Structure 1
Amino acid sequence: MIGAALAAKAAGAGARAIAAALGRPVETVRGWLRRFAGRAEQVRIRFTVLLVDTGVDPVPPAPAATPFADAVAAVVGASVAAASRWPDIGEVSPWRLACAVSRGHLLAPSWP
């Protein structure tokens, strides 16, 4: 659910619209978005490195409109890279990968 909120924000949606679509309180969604925005550059760097180190023939994502969207694109790109390296493990959502890479702390105060 948090990944869906982050992706929607990267696509240009606002917190109120995202909260309504997900059936969550707007304050909760705003908290997710603020926390991610505050570390967007760190997330972008970490997941771009993962993408390049993992991918069979890695293609870093093109620059997006905002640092927030750049970070989301890096997470998605790392997921694609992992799938290209290990196709037999099945599909893993970009946000499950982000959870594993961050040890469940993607939005925690102590990460990265």
Structure 2
Amino acid sequence: MASAKIKKGDNVVVLSGKDKGRTGTVAKVMPKDEKVVVSGLNVMTRHRKPSQTNPQGGLDRVEAPMHISKVAVADPKTGAPTRVRFETVDGKKVRVAVKSGEKIDG
């Protein structure tokens, strides 16, 4: 498997689906499943039956995972979606936005 271009904590833009164009922060990355969870986006409603731990029951809003191909890293300069390439800077492998050339990693 190739190096991960999207990591936890990255700002991403959704490219397709009901949240197209919206931005959020990656909360979780599942590389084996090729999925990401973006906080505040792709929110699904779960109907919960009453139980001992939750006697009221009701509706829970949960962020569902989405395929990694549906998101792109947001350019640090403009906020637009961009591809990512790797460069070596001072002997360290660094992620760089293709559109602006800005470093994504601190």
Structure 2-normalised TM-score? 0.26
Higher strand share: 2
Structure 1-normalised TM-score? 0.25
Larger Rg: 2
